[in-house]
Structure 1
Amino acid sequence: MSENTCAVCDYPLDENRVAVTIGGRTVEVCCEECAQKLREAGQAA
């Protein structure tokens, strides 16, 4: 996974990227749907 792809689905990031902070670390995802998936995974951990 590179810096230019979504942390959830590996889709290329564009200007619509969403930053999400999980466990003190900020990661970027491609959309709000992936942001929600990441938040839910962070809460489950």
Structure 2
Amino acid sequence: MTEKTCAACDCPLDADVIRVTIAGKIVEVCCEECAKALNEAHASATDQGA
């Protein structure tokens, strides 16, 4: 079985995953800090053209 890892930091995921929607896709992260980091990175990447 393949072990799932955090989309932000590659740490192994346990039963307490947090699901975050980024660009219409749901990704799983291990903690609130990683969720916030992904949201900030996505916002920064999409604001490049503004």
> Taking structure 2 as the reference length, what is the TM-score of the superposition?
0.81
Give the SS at the match of 1:33.
helix
Give a deviation string over 1:3-43, Cα, whole Å, max 9, x none: 60000100000011100001001100000110000000010
Paired residues in the alignment total 44
Amino acid at match of 2:5: T
Cα distance in 1, alignment partners of residues 21 and 3 from structure 2: 15
Q: RMSD of the alignment, in Å?
A: 1.4
TM-score, normalization: structure 1?
Answer: 0.89
Distance 2:25 2:10 in 1: 18
Structure 1 alignment gaps of length 5 or more? none
Higher Rg: 2
- In structure 1, give the amino acid aligned to 2:32: E
Unpaired runs of at least 5, structure 2: 46-50
